[in-house]
Chain A
Amino acid sequence: MIAVAARIAGAELRRALGRSVLSALTLSALMFLTLTLAGLADTLDRGSTGVLRTLDADLVIFNQEARQQLLRSRIPRPMTIGLPFVDGVHSVGTIGLVPTSARMPAGDVRVTLVGFSARTPAEPTRVVEGRLPVDGEPRIAALDVSLKAQGVRLGDTIVLGGDREVEVVGFVEDARFLQQPTVWVPPDVWALVRARVAPEAGYAEQLVGAGVVRVFPGADPGEVAAAIEAELDGVEVVTLEDAITSIPGVDVQRGTFTVLVAVSIAVVSFVVGLLSVLEVTERRRQLAILRAVGAPRRVVRGALIARSMLLWAVALVGGSVATWLLARVAPDAAPLGLRWPVLAVVGGGLLVATVIGTAVALGRVSRIDPATAMQVGQA
């Protein structure tokens, strides 16, 4: 009977083409809106948080005054030396951020310089070309792959902070910070550039931004964080996810877009419900006759569900293609992309919305009395 319901729905979509196209266009437009919002949210979020998400770490150590802000945090590098002996700590690294400029073949670009300790949890994990710098390479850097748009290639030399020449040896992806591309260098290079771009802070070779910690599998990050805080004075240890949400604007941005996406999904549900109810109301006499000639209730309901599912599929494809096309022409200032995971999650949400919307009309289908077939057409 499921096959029968699907066959009825398929025939309707194919042959009642005008109505089907209108419904599919309406839903496609709404799904386009939803996917565009979700794509914007995802791209903005990734552009803000990549620098931390790319780390293979569980905890971040800030100095207390920094209030979990990577740009403000400063801790002495020696402070982290004893941490591997804390229960549950697998490995420790350091990371430091400073905004600066980089001279590229296409001109000067604002970037965030990231000083990181090599072969520690502070390494970016998504290296797409070349390699990462290692400690003791004072004139080497890895760049965010988006900087390729500035004409930079492997082996090129760029200038950081006005006078620090470094050779590009690798590219990393999805490692941006506050929408800026990042340049990854050893900690001492970072300290030198920082001293130049923020002279009031002075040069301090032994100062890093924050510590990053990977815990042993099975260890409770919360307990390890508490143990580190007990071990070190003046630090605040938070999980990587908490550190990510502490990046300025991230939690507000996530909350705002979540509301917008949820509202548009709710609108999809409402419109599907409306279309389905109209469909049932308009076809009431025909459905009554179908029930009268022996169509089980589940077939009539199934046909309505199958129709909605087919419309969902068609509209999702239409909405996705439209969003993808918009992403191709969107200006850099409005970063928009549509990744498969986002499409899967939002598509799933839209599917649930479609099911809920259809369920409103299912109640009406169930209440269709086959006996009313006898009154059909009577004066």
Chain B
Amino acid sequence: MSRTGKEGTEMATSAADHRAEQAVLVAEGCSKVYGSGASVVTALTDVSLALARGELVALVGPSGSGKSTLLSILGALLTPSSGTVRVNGVEVTALNEAARTRLRATTYGLVFQSAGLVPFLTARENVELAATFAGLPGRRAAERSRELLGELGLADRADHRPSQLSGGEQQRVALARALISDPQVLLADEPTAHLDGDRGAQVVEALAAAVHRDGRAGLVVTHDQRVAERADRVLQIVDGRLV
């Protein structure tokens, strides 16, 4: 595991250059300001980072430090007040809402703190639903969904509805949903927050495998030490700035 810091400046610079070359997602000078006048709140200040293929980055920081805002901006959910985000050279921040929605369906895999599965659809249908958003043909979506649920140890739970699944299983279904479009960028917001030890560990392993084995760029917002330990880099954010 490597960590950013002041030590080893030359090595760090070299690694940063390498990452920039390999970068799938690049954020430059991103800031986010909410409100106006006297009620201005600065959530993010001049954040730049790059995520390379096959790299899992953990983003840590205290509550209210801007983790979710940064993740929302990187995930094309939120437009920064200034700065740019590029995915494979495409400037995400310049796209309109429809194009960003399309990008999220095809290029991004997003996993949230709460699985947010559609309660009246089965695990398989939830995954296939995301496939339709990405434009996968029905048969291909069904095959891929079966494969993914199998890989995540949910083959025998595929026809269960979320209410019939444990929290860990729901989160793994959410991960399968995120991976169904074979995204190049995988972003997760505290995916183990509501899970106990074993179930959390399963999700962490699945996330790490999805990034390392399949060559995706991954960033996980977390308070979970296990996630930080499995990450290639740990970024810390305090008061809206990467430190």
Q: Give chain A's interface residues, CB within 8 Å of chain B.
A: 1, 4, 8, 11-12, 14-16, 285-286, 288-297, 299, 370-371, 373-379
Contacts and interface: CB of A to CB of B under 8 A. Distances in A.
B9 interface: no
Contact of B72 (A14, A286, A295, A374): A374
B77 interface: yes
Contact of B119 (A16, A294, A376): A16
Contacts of B101: 291, 294-297, 370
21 contacts: A4-B129, A8-B129, A12-B120, A15-B121, A286-B116, A289-B114, A292-B110, A292-B112, A293-B104, A293-B177, A294-B108, A296-B101, A296-B102, A297-B101, A370-B101, A373-B112, A374-B69, A376-B113, A377-B114, A377-B193, A379-B63
A14 B120 CA distance: 9
B189 A374 contact: yes
B162 to A, nearest CB: 10
A292 to B, nearest CB: 6
Contacts of A289: 112, 114, 116
Contacts of A376: 112-114, 116
Interface in B99-140: 101-102, 104-106, 108, 110, 112-114, 116-121, 125, 129-130, 132-134
Contacts of A12: 120
A370 B113 CA distance: 14
B129 A373 contact: no
A12 B119 CA distance: 9
A262 to B, nearest CB: 35
B77 A290 contact: no
A290 B120 contact: no
Contacts of B108: 294
A285 B116 contact: yes
Given A11-B120, A11-B125, A15-B161, A293 B178 contact: yes
A370 B133 contact: no
A377 B221 CA distance: 14
A375 B116 contact: no
Interface residues of B, number: 40
A16 to B, nearest CB: 5
Nearest to B118: A286
B118 to A, nearest CB: 7
A297 B96 CA distance: 13
B118 A8 contact: yes
B118 A292 contact: no
Contacts of B130: 293-294
Q: Which 10 A-B pairs have the closest CB atoms?
A: A294-B105, A289-B116, A377-B114, A294-B133, A15-B120, A377-B113, A371-B77, A374-B68, A371-B78, A294-B104
Chain A CB within 10 A, most for which of B71, B101, B161: B101
A378 B68 contact: yes
Contacts of B75: 292, 374
Interface in B60-110: 63, 68-69, 71-72, 75, 77-78, 97-98, 101-102, 104-106, 108, 110
B62 to A, nearest CB: 12
A294 B194 CA distance: 24
B168 to A, nearest CB: 15
Contacts of B102: 294, 296
Contacts of B78: 371
A285 B120 CA distance: 15
Contacts of B133: 293-296, 299
A12 B98 CA distance: 26
A285 B69 CA distance: 17
Chain A CB within 10 A, most for which of B121, B129, B193: B129
B112 to A, nearest CB: 5
A378 B116 CA distance: 13
Given A16-B120, A294-B101, 10 more contacts: A11-B125, A294-B130, A296-B98, A297-B97, A371-B77, A373-B110, A374-B69, A376-B114, A378-B68, A378-B113
B134 A294 contact: yes
A378 B223 CA distance: 12
A294 B106 contact: yes
